[in-house]
Amino acid sequence: MRIRTDGDYAYRRDAIERAADFYDCNKTKAVVSACDDVPKFVQASRQVLERDDLSLEQRREIAETLSTRAVDFEIDTEVITKTE
């Protein structure tokens, strides 16, 4: 697999190099590691945001903190009224 890093895609080189620095490994292993980790982090983040012991404001702050350029967490409240 090849990843374009020229022209408009130059930002990808920086992202891959940051991942390699973070994981302290070569670029290929960094890309694979990030691809393995991201879905797990997103699922864990969802579990945290769904906790009942957090206030709406806390959930919104956590969602804002965890959101990135590629993953955006939003908190939506739903009010349901039932009448008989």
Q: What is the pLDDT of residues 44-58, one digit of tens each?
A: 999 999 999 999 999
What is the share, in percent, of the chain residues with pLDDT greater than 70? 94
The reported pLDDT for the residue numbered 35 is 96
What is the DSSP secondary-structure string of 6-62? SGGGHHHHHHHHHHHHHHTS-HHHHHHHHHHHHHHHHHHHHHHHT-TTS-HHHHHHH
Going from N- to C-terminal start, the domains of the chain cover: 7-66
Backbone φ/ψ region at 41: left (φ over 0), alpha (ψ -120 to 50), beta: alpha
In this predicted structure, the answer to whether residue 83 has a pLDDT above a threshold of 70 is no
